[in-house]
Amino acid sequence: MTTEATGTAGATETAEAINRFPAIGVIGAGTMGIGIAEVAASHGHQVLLHDVNAEAAHQALEQMAQRLQKRVDKVRISARQRQEILERIRFVDELDALAKARLVIEAIVENLTIKQGLFQQLEKICPAETIFASNTSSISITAIAASLNEPSRLIGLHFFNPAPVMKLVEVIAGLQSDAALLAAAEQLCLAWGKIPVRAQSTPGFIVNRVARPFYGEPLKMLQEQLASPAVIDTVLRESAGFRMGPFQLMDLIGIDVNFAVSQSVFNAFFNDPRYRPSLIQQEMVAAGLLGRKTGRGFYDYGAEGNDPAPVPYAPPCDQNGTVTIRGHMGLGEPLRGLIRARRCISLMESRGSGYLLAGGCAVVLANGQTATARAREHGYKCLVHVDLALDFAGAKTIALAFSERCEKANRESVIGLFQALGKKVLVVPDEPGLIAMRTVVMLINEAAEAVFTGVCDAEAVDRAMRYGVNYPEGPLAWGRKIGFQHVLQTLEGLQQWFGDDRYRPSAWLRHQVERDSRQTLTERHGHG
């Protein structure tokens, strides 16, 4: 349990896990297979590498030797280590040579029938104790295993690209997979310095499923003409803390590849609207605008390389008047320190329900209402929605939306306040959830639903998203920081506003909200 939680294994466990598999078979020497072979050989296993295309496999080995040489040049490994790694990998022409392997990892073409045929052959070659693992990204582990006489011996080991670098491995259980084999594979991943997470075989497993809203929601915003790709990317990067914006990332992955995964997950979930693919992507694929690889996608990559798309930041404005902070501002609390540190800003602090007053406006974290509706509901003339930031102290950019009765002077004063705090400001249309909050609550909802439906546990989903796609925070940990009540209300607001079932909140969130309110009541009661 402790080893699983920390992603490390003790020296004895490491040695045991490695010794259990003196020889490992890797089938497919493409992008993933060669990387997996390198990982195994780097940890002392003999690797038997097989591919139908011997020439391609030898080329892949040659490229690996060159990559390892670069690591020697950078003094990351010694020349001797490089030599040992290369000597441990043996290309084998015939599948029969895999009889010695006690674990065979398949990374061949993504096709169910071909994968089934391969494992049927292997079942005749390898002894009963050999574990079979598939690196498939999208095919059901249960379905691959179903063609075997002994389906319990097949599991999923889903590595991420590049396998030697990426820490996450999803350890996937098919319906009939043997729990002891899953545990052994998990121990081996830990011994390899990887971070394994357990998941049940379901479409997209954890990462490829929970990440869908990171593309789907910004694409829907683009379709609704809420903001340009450059604005959406900037907010998600510079406010929400993602390493890359969704449109930049889709351009990098390839819009055709991303569209194909979206379609496959949508079909696999029986057309659930949560995974509905985007018409914009479909049109771009039809036009051959596939991203970086074709020179144009959401952005234009001219001869000069990346063409930085302009972002319409608000021009400089003056902050004037006193700023009042009423009560604890929750996620926005770091703003208090920033304001206090700016001696030129006059600040009043008092008790209250946790908000900020500036330039005659109530400034609050965006939820599932428009700022206009919220202003009306709470009797404010002017209300400003601030989009979600991962860390309000460190965020470079802040997105704001103003209720419709905000005058120019009100707006400028609030923009001026954030600028005085060192932020660039983007003013976006007054839509529920704005950009970052809307995207992140959808990620939280998807993570919650994966847990609610038994795909994985809460800790696994957070670890998977942090280490599989480098999210700045695990979605459920993020939900806890935002407050599950706020997440739930935002989703309900979006569902009502758009009349779209894709926003229906997961029952897991409702359970958390109930639990949190019970706890608050108990605490109040306990404190008399």
Ligand X SMILES: NC(=O)c1ccc[n+]([C@@H]2O[C@H](COP(=O)([O-])OP(=O)(O)OC[C@H]3O[C@@H](n4cnc5c(N)ncnc54)[C@H](O)[C@@H]3O)[C@@H](O)[C@H]2O)c1
Helix (H) or strand (E) holding 418: helix 408-420
**Shorter beta-carbon distance to ligand X: residue 29 or 435:** 29
C-beta neighbour count of 165 within 10 angstroms: 9
**Is 166 an interacting residue with respect to ligand X (CB under 6 A)?**
no
470 is catalytic: no
The rounded distance, in Å, linking the Cα atoms of 367 and 217 is 16
**Least Cβ distance, residue 331 to ligand X (angstroms):** 34
147 is catalytic: no
**Is 31 an interacting residue with respect to ligand X (CB under 6 A)?**
yes
Per CB under 6 A, the list member of 62, 110, 129, 377 interacting with ligand X is 110
CA max distance for the chain = 80
| Coil, strand or helix at 240 | coil
The rounded distance, in Å, linking the Cα atoms of 362 and 250 is 37
**Least Cβ distance, residue 159 to ligand X (angstroms):** 6
Encoded amino acid at 35, one letter: G
The 36-75 site mask, x for binding ligand X (CB under 6 A), equals --------------xxxx--x-------------------
Output DSSP code: residue 106.
Answer: E
Options 134-142, 216-224, 373-381, 514-522: segment touching ligand X (CB under 6 A)? 134-142
**Is 33 an interacting residue with respect to ligand X (CB under 6 A)?**
yes
**Least Cβ distance, residue 63 to ligand X (angstroms):** 12
Active-site hit among 106, 170, 217, 473: 170
**Is 114 an interacting residue with respect to ligand X (CB under 6 A)?**
yes
Q: CA quadruple 96, 100, 102, 105: dihedral positive or negative?
A: negative
Active-site hit among 42, 134, 135, 137: 137
506 is catalytic: no
Per CB under 6 A, the list member of 18, 23, 24, 27 interacting with ligand X is 27
C-beta neighbour count of 8 within 10 angstroms: 14
**Is 161 an interacting residue with respect to ligand X (CB under 6 A)?**
yes
Options 129-137, 144-152, 240-248, 352-360: segment touching ligand X (CB under 6 A)? 129-137
**Is 136 an interacting residue with respect to ligand X (CB under 6 A)?**
yes
**Is 409 an interacting residue with respect to ligand X (CB under 6 A)?**
no
Burial of 316 (C-beta count, 10 Å sphere; 0-12/13-18/19+): exposed
Q: Which residue minimizes CB distance to ligand X?
A: 30
Closest to 239 (Cα-Cα) out of 26, 397, 91, 452 = 397
**Least Cβ distance, residue 31 to ligand X (angstroms):** 4
C-beta neighbour count of 299 within 10 angstroms: 19
**Shorter beta-carbon distance to ligand X: residue 161 or 517:** 161
> Helices then strands (H, E): number in the chain?
22, 17
Options 25-33, 266-274, 294-302, 432-440: segment touching ligand X (CB under 6 A)? 25-33
**Least Cβ distance, residue 407 to ligand X (angstroms):** 52
C-beta neighbour count of 307 within 10 angstroms: 12
**Shorter beta-carbon distance to ligand X: residue 109 or 348:** 109
The CA R_g of the chain, rounded to the nearest whole Å, is 26
**Is 109 an interacting residue with respect to ligand X (CB under 6 A)?**
yes
**Least Cβ distance, residue 70 to ligand X (angstroms):** 21
Active-site hit among 158, 177, 262, 367: 158
Active-site hit among 134, 208, 258, 264: 208
Give first-to-last CA distance, the chain, whole Å: 38
208 is catalytic: yes
- Tell me the site size for ligand X, rule CB under 6 A: 23
The rounded distance, in Å, linking the Cα atoms of 309 and 229 is 9
Options 130-138, 418-426, 442-450, 515-523: segment touching ligand X (CB under 6 A)? 130-138
Phi, psi for residue 432 in degrees, rounded to 5:
-60, 135
**Is 490 an interacting residue with respect to ligand X (CB under 6 A)?**
no
Q: Give, in order, the Cα–Cα distances in Å from 122 to each of 118, 177, 203, 287.
A: 6, 17, 25, 43
SS3 annotation, 2-44: HHHHHCCCCHHHHHHHHHCCCEEEEECCCHHHHHHHHHHHHCC
Encoded amino acid at 481, one letter: K
Query: Where do contacts with ligand X occur on this chain (CB under 6 A)?
Result: 27-33, 50-53, 56, 107-110, 114, 118, 135-137, 159, 161
The catalytic residue positions are: 137, 158, 170, 208
